[in-house]
Amino acid sequence: MAENTEKVIDTQTNETQTYDESQIQVMEGLEAVRKRPGMYIGSTSVRGLCHLVYEIVDNAIDEALAGYCKNIYVTIEKGNIVTVEDDGRGIPTGIHPKMGISTLEVVYTILHAGGKFGGSGYKISGGLHGVGASVVNALSDWLTVEVYNGREIHFQSYKYGKPDAPVAVTGTTDKHGTKCRFHADPGIFETTEYEYETLLQRMREQAFLTAGVRIVFTDERGDEPVVNEMHYEGGIKDFVRYINEKRTNEVLHDTIYLSAKTGDSLAEVALQYSASYNELILSFANNIHTVDGGMHEQGFKQALTKVINDYARKYKFIKEADPNLMGEDVREGLTAVISVKLPEPQFEGQTKTKLGNSEMRSAVDALISDKLAAYLEENPAIARTIMDKSMTAQRAREAAKRARDLTRRKSLLASASLPGKLADCQERDPELTEIYIVEGDSAGGSAKDGRERRFQAILPLWGKMLNVEKARVDKIYENDKLQPVILALGTGIGAEFDITKLRYGKVIIMADADVDGSHIRTLLLTFFYRYMRPLVEQGHVYLAQAPLYKITKGKSEYYANNDEELEKLLAEVGQDCKIFRYKGLGEMNPEQLWETTMNPKNRTILKVNLEDAVLADQIFNVLMGDKVEPRREFIEANAKYVENLDV
């Protein structure tokens, strides 16, 4: 027997198989992925399921970034079968020099080094063809791939990542490209049902980041196919325009687009100010969203602040003796997309979404320092608008500082450094504590009585609070509804926010399932998103789910959170029982509130996670912004997702 071979009894066929080295490597790779899929795609929830599509589409995008592919067709067929096809060069099918098998088979069966989700994962960065394909293959119960090289069609199929047969020529063609079809393994994933909207956001983002590529995304699962074609010649300039079109505030000038090549790296920035008070800066490296920022984003921020201060002083917008504009002043109302492409990106941090390459800080800094300064010189009217906006922001920040100091002095004077309404818990370790922010005094009262005071704090909120989407930071501190929340959580807000000062591990919003409750939830979430964003990003914010129905049969009591659960319960309990529909939290006595909504053993709380920064920004801005029309459209478009809306 050749060296490095292994006798293995194949349990399905009971045959003795002899595997050579590469096949053993394949088997070990498949086994590693199927044993711990979370290491490779983050989770086996619907988010992990979507990652399968992202990996294959990323490979087609890489072919577009290399300049060979113009069109990418993504389709979800009936049965949640995914097809991705591009018109690139086609994966090479020649025998791989090292592995002795077709390169196509190598791409789809050999795990590559490097780790995106830590450990022995695989994909470190975009720009490396096909590194994710073998993972998708391992996690699919079946997958087929076709390569068109302008002459023949090369084909291979797999079951659970294992080739059914060697790569074969199955026909002739004059087209070129790669086509992959796969079905996620139901034995691995909690669900194999794709969310079209989630995937659509990502396809759109990739189209913006790859100027000129055309992505056609089709959902064939319904009676009528749903098709979205995305094609943006303007790239990230169109991305910024798209984001600001979806927001309700008017823009102050046309989008500014700047780019520069340094060596074999490319840095691009698109930016546009609007009348909003918020900033939205998205940064990408090789089309990967660097959620935690990094060197490119640092370079952008430091250069922007310097360029605007230099211009403001040069043209006497700020006098010699006046203090400099701060970073948050020059970024108020700014929407910006930073996109860098480089051969050897270093991704750092827990989720590998922070760019570590220090050369990119100077590259983006130089781009902004040279080209934005020149742009302002050539466009004095736009420059003036940006100066005015930054200076107004500076005055507001200073007013906020005065308001905050005043608040602090007042609260210190009142010596109640925590809001009077807060019923605090005994435990001090934030890892073990949670705070319920409860709508209404009556529910607040029952929650105080019903809670487990060792680790549960209660902060009742009464009436509507400030809509922060339309308010400036100085108004936030003065607001008597938000102030108790700020003081109770202890972190401060905005640029001052410090997550290490958070006093509770879980911040649970408890409000009725009716329209008022939804409004309170949205107001609080808008506040957290705009002024305490890491609180949401790090998964501290939850929504309590109070039951809608109580079913009693004899002595036993059951609860259902929605109509679906009620149906299931009635099927189990039988029809001869009493059904009580709760109108609000206030109708529950402390014991019921504890049992159904607060007892960690059987309550339901939903963790709020911001999947997509652009989407979250749109939702808060449209829902809470000052234009009614876009809000009505948004609510109508999303009404189908809303259950039991009391109107």
Helices (H), 278-417: 295-314, 327-330, 359-367, 373-378, 380-413
Shortest Å, Cβ 60 to ligand 28F = 4
Nearer to ligand 28F, 90 or 547 (CB): 90
CA distance 543 to 513: 11
Query: Is 512 a catalytic site residue?
Result: yes
Measured CA to CA, the distance from residue 241 to residue 618 in angstroms comes to 13
Q: Would you list the DSSP string of 275-300?
A: S-S--EEEEEETTEE-TT-BHHHHHH
The neighbouring-strand residues paired with 73 are: 85, 216
Q: How far is the CB of 56 from ligand 28F (least distance, A)?
A: 5
* Residue with Cβ nearer ligand 28F (88 or 333): 88
- Distance CA(387)–CA(394), nearest Å, equals 11
Q: Which is nearer to ligand 28F, 88 or 121 (CB)?
A: 88
Among 51, 116, 123, 129, binds ligand 28F (CB under 6 A): 129
Which range, of 177-185, 279-287, 586-594, 596-604, touches ligand 28F by CB under 6 A?
177-185
Q: Write down the catalytic residue from 329, 439, 469, 595.
A: 439
Q: Cα separations (Å) of 97 from 91, 101, 102, 129, 153?
A: 15, 8, 9, 17, 22
The separation between CA 613 and the C-alpha centre of its own chain, rounded to angstroms, equals 6
Among candidate residues 20, 516, 557, 565, the one labeled active-site is 516
Does residue number 123 form part of the binding site for ligand 28F (CB under 6 A)?
Answer: no
Do β-strands 214-219 and 71-77 pair in parallel, antiparallel, or remain unpaired? parallel
- Residues numbered 47-106 forming contacts with ligand 28F, rule: CB under 6 A: 56, 59-60, 63, 84, 86, 88-89, 91-92, 103
Yes or no: say if 210 and 65 are a contact pair by the CB < 8 Å rule.
yes
Beta strands 280-285 and 354-355 are unpaired
10 is catalytic: no
Q: How far is the CB of 207 from ligand 28F (least distance, A)?
A: 15
Q: C-alpha dihedral over 199, 201, 205, 206, to 10 degrees?
A: 20
Q: Which amino acid is at 225?
A: P
Q: How many residues bind ligand 28F (CB under 6 A)?
A: 17
Q: Is position 37 an interface residue for ligand 28F (rule: CB under 6 A)?
A: no
Query: Rule CB under 6 A: is residue 137 a binding residue for ligand 28F?
Result: no
Find the catalytic residue in 297, 424, 427, 512.
Answer: 512
Known catalytic residue: 516? yes
* Binding segment (CB under 6 A) for ligand 28F, from list 172-180, 191-199, 241-249, 549-557: 172-180
Q: Closest CB to ligand 28F among 146 and 365?
A: 146
CB nearer ligand 28F, residue 128 or residue 543: 128
Complex with ligand 28F: residue 90 or 444, whichever CB lies closer = 90
For ligand 28F, which is the closer residue by CB, 145 or 535? 145
If one asks whether residue 178 binds ligand 28F (CB under 6 A), the answer comes out as yes
180 scored as a contact of ligand 28F (CB under 6 A): yes
Whether 33 and 135 have beta carbons less than 8 Å apart is answered as: yes
> Minimum distance from CB of 157 to ligand 28F (Å)?
14
**Shortest reach from residue 91's CB to ligand 28F, in Å:** 4
Residue 523 touches ligand 28F, criterion: CB under 6 A: no
Q: Least separation, in Å, of the C-beta of 212 and ligand 28F?
A: 17
Residue that the structure tokens 């109108």 belong to: 583
Among 539, 577, 586, 536, CA closest to 559 = 577
- Which residue from 326, 306, 317, 293 is spatially nearest to 368, judged by alpha carbons? 306
Q: Which is nearer to ligand 28F, 88 or 440 (CB)?
A: 88
Dist CA 15 CA 279 (whole Å): 63
**Least spacing, CB of residue 187 vs ligand 28F, in Å:** 24
CB of 241 to ligand 28F, least distance (A): 28
The question of whether 612 is a catalytic residue gets the answer no
Between vectors from CA 235 to CA 267 and to CA 114, what angle results, nearest 5°? 55
Rounded to the nearest whole angstrom, what is the least distance from the CB of residue 145 to ligand 28F in the complex?
7
Cβ closer to ligand 28F: 72 or 367? 72
Distance (Å, whole) CA 465 – CA 517: 12
Backbone angles phi and psi of 358, in degrees to 5: -70, -25
Q: Is the dihedral of CA 642, 644, 645, 647 positive or negative?
A: positive
Interface with ligand 28F by CB under 6 A: which range of 175-183, 247-255, 515-523, 638-646? 175-183
Rounded Cα distance, 573 and 569, in Å: 6
By the rule CB under 6 A, 33 interacts with ligand 28F = no
Site for ligand 28F contains 249 (CB under 6 A): no
Task: Pick the catalytic residue from 328, 514, 557, 612.
Answer: 514
The correct pick among 130, 299, 419, 547 for binding ligand 28F (CB under 6 A) is 130
> How far apart, in whole angstroms, are the C-alpha atoms of residue 518 and residue 244?
26
- Residue 107 binds ligand 28F, judged by CB under 6 A: yes
DSSP 512-546: -SSHHHHHHHHHHHHHHHHH-HHHHHTT-EEEE--
Selection from 305, 304, 252 nearest residue 276 by Cα: 252
Residues catalogued as catalytic: 439, 512, 514, 516
Residues lying near ligand 28F in the complex (CB under 6 A): 56, 59-60, 63, 84, 86, 88-89, 91-92, 103, 107, 129-130, 178-180
